[in-house]
Chains A and B, each alone.
Chain A
Amino acid sequence: MTTGWLIRRCLFVLYTMLIVSIVVFAITQILPADAAVTLLGENATPAALAALRARLHLDDPAWLQYWHWLSALALGDFGTSMRTGQAVGPVMFLALTRSLVLALCAIALMLLIAVPLGISAAVRRGGPIDLLAGVVSYLGVSLPEFVTGTVLLIIFADRLHWLPATGYVPLTDDAVEGVRHLVLPVLTVSLILIAHVSRMTRSEMIDVLHAEYVRAARLKGLSASQVLLRHALRNALLPVITIVALDIGYVLGGIIVVEEIFALPGIGRALIVAIETRDLPAIQAGALIMAGTYALANFLADIAYAVLDKRIRYE
């Protein structure tokens, strides 16, 4: 990893964010024949429409509108909510912190379950654990979050009364209640991740176990666990990093659904509320912040990969 490589990666993140901002702006503000109609609904009076158009500068050419929006963004101004009249940026970033707690817990739980599951499945191919891993991975990738989430809610909240059904308690207010409210959302988000990553770990591990250096390590007389942990695991986990980074896209999508089901006031729910109330600045800010988080996560994964994989030398 050289400085030049790092700078190029940073520039690509910036370029990505620029394109993302164009995409978000184009989809939300330019594509609709008339954003004012989108905002006020089909039955708005012509006078109200004209007033809104003037207020939002909707009669300006598209590039000028985009330029105004972008230059405000560059100063950290995400716009003002049309619903509450508050600045959108701080509200969205606060919501993002709640979502990040959910996302990081889900990723941690996934790593705890998926990596050991994938390894055991690879070591004893065709055994009961391998079969279990196979079933889990098919169920995980085939069950949308809104189904898993609702079914978990029926079982653990409605029938067994073990956990609260909905709502959110900040971890700093009451750690125990906070965790109890997080359990079901975290389980829901992590299932699809466990499915992907355990499958990936298994197939990478099978490849690595057939490699020459693992054979050599065995012939050297190392114990099975030494071979597994010291030689095989390290190389099997590298591609897993990439998968985890790509899966953050699923996590962010999953968060939208899960926060809606469990009434968790994160950025996904903020986005859904913004869409339902046609709050354009909030929709744009929410979408941009989520996409930015994803781009940043991928950037960090690239760096982690470069640090861990001694074979890659970026010039």
Chain B
Amino acid sequence: MSDFTYRLLRTPQGVLGAAILVALGIVCTIGPAIAPADPEAMNVLGRFKPPGAQFLLGSDDFGRDMLSRLLVGARGTIPLALGATLLGTLAGAVIGTLSAYLGGRWDEAIMRTTDAVLAVPGLLLALLVANTLGKGSFNAMLAIAVAFAPGMARVTRSVALTVRRQDYVSAAIARGEGVAWVVFREMLPNVAAPVVVETTIRVAFAVMLFATLSFLGLGAQPPASEWGLMVAQARAFIHQAPWMIIAPGAAIALAAIGFNLFGDGLRDALNPRDAR
């Protein structure tokens, strides 16, 4: 493990990504405590103030401190993106592993159907599901999980097909274990490692997708300080207060860059020979 950590932290991507993720983790846990002002406190005299001494990142149309809103808003964005990715990965992993275990016609049927569902662009699928479930952060999270599941099922299946041929799986089947046991206890744990890399990179996409759903009005609802929603609301003041858009936009980008860098570092660390 220490060797693995060493390899991960040896690449510039790994170090930078890990640093950004640690910072995000800190903000998510103690964000409200380190916020310089109350994120909900309105201030009629302090509306549309550009970044400066009083408001480090400026203030919004209600005179609320942008920095404080961003720090608190991390909780409304990052954990939900993580949750969506984990749920989607889990569902996809179960489908993919089951498909590889069953093999033959079942595998063919499940995979063709997965391919067909993948023919619906991710954002569109998430949009439809979110629209059906109703507006809100939790539903947006479920929608992203649904959109991620088919892709993850594909990745997992290709890994699981290799695992399926291993002796310990044949042994479990020969012992007369049930489908659930073989899939959950024998196969899934061994499929995990490559899937983890794919998952990490997907979190970046989930952060962007979640913010996009909020931007389009289907995710977090006002007055939440979710980052995508903040950009959507700031569009009305594009001329007066561009910092209202740039600050949350940069926060989203930073989070996505962090997960992308970390995912790449992780991949290089897991396949040292493949590193370029």
Enumerate chain A interface residues (CB-CB to B < 8 A): 12, 15-20, 23-24, 27-28, 31-32, 38, 138-139, 141-147, 150-151, 153-154, 158, 203, 206, 249-250, 252-254, 256-257, 260-261, 271-272, 275-276, 283, 287, 290-291, 294-295, 298
A144 touches B121 (CB 8 A): no
Q: Which residues of chain B are within 8 angstroms of A38 by Cβ–Cβ distance?
A: 132
Q: Which residues of chain A are within 8 angstroms of B215 by Cβ–Cβ distance?
A: 144, 146, 257
Query: Is B204 close to A, CB under 8 A?
Result: yes
B120 touches A20 (CB 8 A): yes
State in angstroms the CA–CA spacing of A45 and B235 once bound together: 36
Given A17-B119, A20-B117, A256-B124; 10 other pairs, CB 8 A cutoff: A16-B115, A138-B257, A141-B256, A143-B249, A143-B253, A143-B256, A154-B238, A253-B123, A275-B131, A283-B128
A158 touching B239 in the complex, CB below 8 Å, given contacts A20-B116, A252-B121, A256-B123: yes
Chain B contact residue count (CB 8 A cutoff): 43
State in angstroms the CA–CA spacing of A7 and B190 once bound together: 39
- B130 and chain A: residue at smallest CB distance: A275
Chain B residues 61-117 with CB under 8 Å of chain A are: 112-113, 115-117
A253 touching B122 in the complex, CB below 8 Å, given contacts A147-B249, A151-B249: yes
A144 touches B239 (CB 8 A): no
A298 touching B119 in the complex, CB below 8 Å, given contacts A31-B132, A154-B238, A158-B238: yes
Mask, B32-70, CB within 8 Å of A = 1, is 000000000000000000000000000000000000000
B116 touches A16 (CB 8 A): yes
- A274 and chain B: residue at smallest CB distance: B131
A142 touches B260 (CB 8 A): yes
State in angstroms the CA–CA spacing of A276 and B216 once bound together: 10
From B122, B232, B238, B253, A142 is in contact (CB under 8 Å) with B253
Q: Which residues of chain B are within 8 angstroms of A154 by Cβ–Cβ distance?
A: 238, 242, 245-246
A150 touching B238 in the complex, CB below 8 Å, given contacts A23-B117, A287-B124, A294-B119: yes
- A284 and chain B: residue at smallest CB distance: B128
Q: Which residues of chain A are within 8 angstroms of B124 by Cβ–Cβ distance?
A: 252-253, 256, 271, 287, 290-291
From A16, A206, A261, B119 is in contact (CB under 8 Å) with A16
Q: Would you list 5 pairs from A and B whose C-beta atoms are within 8 A, ordered by A residue?
A: A20-B117, A24-B120, A32-B132, A147-B253, A260-B216
- A296 and chain B: residue at smallest CB distance: B119
Query: Is B252 close to A, CB under 8 A?
Result: yes
Q: Which residues of chain A are within 8 angstroms of B116 by Cβ–Cβ distance?
A: 15-16, 18-20, 23
Closest 9 CB pairs of A and B: A253-B123, A19-B116, A142-B256, A147-B249, A144-B208, A249-B121, A142-B257, A252-B121, A16-B116
State in angstroms the CA–CA spacing of A54 and B152 once bound together: 40
Q: Which residues of chain B are within 8 angstroms of A298 by Cβ–Cβ distance?
A: 119
Q: Which residues of chain A are within 8 angstroms of B238 by Cβ–Cβ distance?
A: 150, 153-154, 158
State in angstroms the CA–CA spacing of A276 and B260 once bound together: 33
B119 touches A142 (CB 8 A): no
Most B C-beta atoms less than 10 A away, residue of A17, A31, A142, A275: A142
Q: Which residues of chain B are within 8 angstroms of A203 by Cβ–Cβ distance?
A: 276
Query: Is B212 close to A, CB under 8 A?
Result: yes
State in angstroms the CA–CA spacing of A172 and B124 once bound together: 30
Q: Which residues of chain B are within 8 angstroms of A206 by Cβ–Cβ distance?
A: 276
Q: Which residues of chain A are within 8 angstroms of B112 by Cβ–Cβ distance?
A: 12, 15, 19
CB distance from A298 to the nearest CB of B (A): 7
Q: Which residues of chain A are within 8 angstroms of B256 by Cβ–Cβ distance?
A: 141-144
Q: Which residues of chain A are within 8 angstroms of B191 by Cβ–Cβ distance?
A: none
State in angstroms the CA–CA spacing of A107 and B212 once bound together: 22
Query: Is B31 close to A, CB under 8 A?
Result: no
CB distance from B267 to the nearest CB of A (A): 12
- A137 and chain B: residue at smallest CB distance: B260
Mask, B231-253, CB within 8 Å of A = 1, is 11001001100100110010011
From B212, B242, B260, A144 is in contact (CB under 8 Å) with B212
State in angstroms the CA–CA spacing of A147 and B257 once bound together: 14
Query: Is B211 close to A, CB under 8 A?
Result: yes
State in angstroms the CA–CA spacing of A213 and B107 once bound together: 39
State in angstroms the CA–CA spacing of A38 and B129 once bound together: 13
Query: Is B228 close to A, CB under 8 A?
Result: yes
State in angstroms the CA–CA spacing of A61 and B55 once bound together: 58
CB distance from A249 to the nearest CB of B (A): 4
From A28, A150, A253, B132 is in contact (CB under 8 Å) with A28
State in angstroms the CA–CA spacing of A203 and B274 once bound together: 11
From B117, B120, B211, B216, A287 is in contact (CB under 8 Å) with B120
A24 touches B211 (CB 8 A): no
Query: Is B217 close to A, CB under 8 A?
Result: yes
Q: Which residues of chain A are within 8 angstroms of B204 by Cβ–Cβ distance?
A: 141-142
Chain B residues 186-242 with CB under 8 Å of chain A are: 204, 208-209, 211-212, 215-218, 228, 231-232, 235, 238-239, 242
Mask, B113-151, CB within 8 Å of A = 1, is 101110111111101110110000000000000000000
- B113 and chain A: residue at smallest CB distance: A19
A150 touches B245 (CB 8 A): yes
- B215 and chain A: residue at smallest CB distance: A146
Q: Which residues of chain B are within 8 angstroms of A287 by Cβ–Cβ distance?
A: 120, 124, 128
